[in-house]
Structure 1
Amino acid sequence: MKQPNIVTFGGGTGSPVIIKSLIEAGFTNIKAISSATDSGGKTGSIRSDERDRVIAVCDLLRNLLALIPNHRHTKQLTTFTDLFSYTDGRNRNLGYTIYYALLEKYNNDFLSVQKHLEQLLSIRFAGTAIPVTLSPANLHFTTNSGKLFYGEHELDRQSMSKDSVKSIWLKPSVPATPLALEAISSADYLIYSPGSLYGSIIANFLPTGIIKALQQSSAHKILITNLVSTRNETHRFTPLDYLHLFRLYTRLDQPFDTIITPYLSTKEFNHRYPNIAHSYAQEHSHFLGWTKAQSNKLPSSIHVISANHFSITQKYSRLRHDPQKLGQILRKIISNH
């Protein structure tokens, strides 16, 4: 069977899970487009030291590591990836430092960096990790109260605020990576991963050229919604809210053809898992599940899949998308389409 061209959109948390789900389902032609504007944590330290003259590579690197086929996780490879996660006393991450050094060696050619790592690790990635832009930029956003914020890290800092995000843009305006545009153009399937809705998904729509590429794409577009809300981004969000927001930033009347949601409504989840619901409530978050009536408010042309595709971690009882369960769902969608 010919491998379909699959493109994922997202950041460094949700996209790796979707990539693993696709690999689990047997797909090995994945183009993982990642946001490049992170300004917090270890990445923020590096970008600050470099006076914002470099893109953020944290999401790109996490997506690349997720593209390692399951059967290739040898002891040597595990040792290497563990080394990548090491952080020194100056909050410098070794993995990012190595990746930036390789980018410099290969004149910003991330494909050559990926090939270098393949040779070094004696592996073949199940696809390509692509930064949405190679030009440094930062997110700016306003909230409903009219406040202006600078930097993606502010989305995280304001995550428990009732003052929700109203609009978001890049400064300066930057062009999309040509390979990202090519990937969208040739895609059979586009998958919008879970994660920060503004920082990981909408941020990928902002570089010049992405919207036009999406508008011209004939790919089947799949949205995988978040399991838990973020107070300043998706509080009390419904499937219709997702549709309105995606319409606004893609300028497409139908920005996604399939939406994958949890099989439980918020009320059902709270009744079944009261302790977990209470734990998330302390963070001003709630389970993002909907009734059939709420999902039916979407246009009939959008296919809604309500699925048991999450698991609960043993430690801290956190909700996570389950790669095996999600892989089965994605395999079914792609094989039946």
Structure 2
Amino acid sequence: MKSEKNLSVVVIGGGTGMPVLLRGLKDLPVDLTALVTVADDGGSTGRLRDEMGMPAPGDIRNVIAALSDAEPMLLDLFQHRFQAGKDLTGHSMGNLLLAAMTSVTGNFLMGIQEISRVLNVKGRILPISNDNMSLHARMTDGSVVSGESQIPLAHKQIEQVYLSPQPVHPLPDAVQAIRDADLVVVSPGSLYTSIMPNLIIPQIDKALGQTSARVVYVCNVMTQEGETDGYTAADHVQAIHRHIGDDCIDSVVVHNEPIRQQVREIYAEENATPVIYDIDRLLAMGLQVIENDIIDPSKTALRHDTHKIAKLLYSMIRDE
């Protein structure tokens, strides 16, 4: 069993899935680092990117909120989205604060660090890159769709995603965090638009293949229209392999209980269906498959249970 003082957990991702994992992990005795996507270009985030030439703040904002131990009212203020005002409508207060702090410090990472200090964040939050990047998808029909927010709207099968302008530079601390980790977790989330933009950055992909840490992918529970229509669990992993090679993922975590019919019907309206966990195919890929009931049954929207998944992930390194 490893010493608890030395356990280092790195979580890679973005979107709605990553904060759920982090809320549970922050209460465990680990050194926690979140590597967060900055490829978002929709809404408030997109407007700030265009106007200030900064990396996308939206996913960073949600991770700060997840890891903060600040007073609830202060977090409500941080997450507040303006509904009125010609120029303020749609903007999140947290996004504006990140933009302001980036301007004050002259650096996006320093801005994150200062706001993290003010909001008493547990753990370390790193953008996967300090670059202002754009995501593109090449579809199986040969067409190219540009912009993270536009890719799912094309309703086409995605062959490959890539970033511009090249070269994209990873944050050196992000690369080192992966190399030094005891456990690296690829979070659930939009596979091509929240997860893949992190993994395909040069040096990040190599670090995942070379780290001595176990790399575990927490698979999505439902498919996503415009990204993973009809995907099984093995299809999710195969997409990762197609982008960064087949030596990067060691284990995959899947939910092994049926999804309630009421929930299925709600998601059916979004053309989303439960991900089929084709265990034999996952095993044939050389993966360790970890099956468990990891969904929060109290929520209508399917979410991983923050405490269940945190305990499961922690047990993977605690017992080694």
Answer yes or no: same fold by TM over 0.5: yes
Deviations along 1:65-103, whole A, 9 cap, x unmatched? Answer: 2222xxx45xxx212111112233332222111111112
Instruction: List alignment gaps of at least 5 residues for structure 2.
Output: none
- Show the counterpart of 1:22: 25
Aligned-partner SS, 1:243:
helix
Change in 2 beyond 3 A, CA 1:18/1:141: same
Q: Which deviations, in whole Å up to 9, do the C-alpha atoms of 1:106-165 show, x marking residues without a partner?
A: 2215246424542x34x3x3211100111111001122222211110113434xx2x221
Aligned to 1:154: 150
Counterparts of 1:296-335 in structure 2, within 5 Å, are 296-299=283-286, 302-314=287-299, 317-335=300-318
| Structure 2 letter corresponding to 1:2 | K
**CA RMSD between the two structures:** 2.0
Deviation string 1:284-309 (CA, Å, 9 cap, x unpaired) is 1101142544544432xx21111100
1:292-332 deviations in Å (ceiling 9; x for gaps) = 44544432xx2111110002445xx2211001111221122
1:48 aligns with 2:50: yes
Query: 2:135, 2:163 within 8 Å by CA — same for their partners in 1?
Result: yes
Decide which of 139, 145, 156 is 2:141's aligned counterpart.
145
Tell me the distance in 2 between the aligned counterparts of 1:213 and 1:204: 12
| Cross-structure match for 2:13 | 10
Question: How far apart are 1:258 and its partner, in Å?
Answer: 1.4
Q: 1:222 aligned to 2:225?
A: no
TM-score where L is the length of structure 2: 0.90
Q: Matched residue pairs, number?
A: 311
**Sequence identity, in percent?**
26
Query: Deviations 1:198-248 (Å, cap 9, x if unpaired)?
Result: 111110023332122223211110110011101322222223323322222
Give the Cα–Cα distance (whole angstroms) in 1 for the partners of residues 281 and 201 of structure 2: 32
Distance 1:96 1:208, change over 3 A: same
Task: Give the 3-state SS of the residue equivalent to 1:2 in structure 2.
Answer: helix
For 1:185 and 1:293, locate their aligned partners in 2 and report how far apart those are by CA, in whole Å.
30
Query: Quick one: which amino acid aligns to residue 319 of structure 2?
Result: N
Corresponding position of 1:278:
265
C-alpha contact (below 8 Å) 1:7/1:33 kept by paired residues: yes
219, 223, 247: which one pairs with 2:241? 247
Instruction: Give the secondary structure class of the aligned counterpart of 2:48.
Output: helix
TM-score by length of 1: 0.86
Contact kept? 1:312, 1:318, Cα under 8 Å: no
Provide the C-alpha distance between the structure 1 equivalents of 2:92 and 2:237, rounded to a whole number of angstroms: 37
Structure 1, unaligned stretches of length 5 or more?
none
Do the aligned partners of 1:37 and 1:56 also contact (CA within 8 Å) in 2? yes
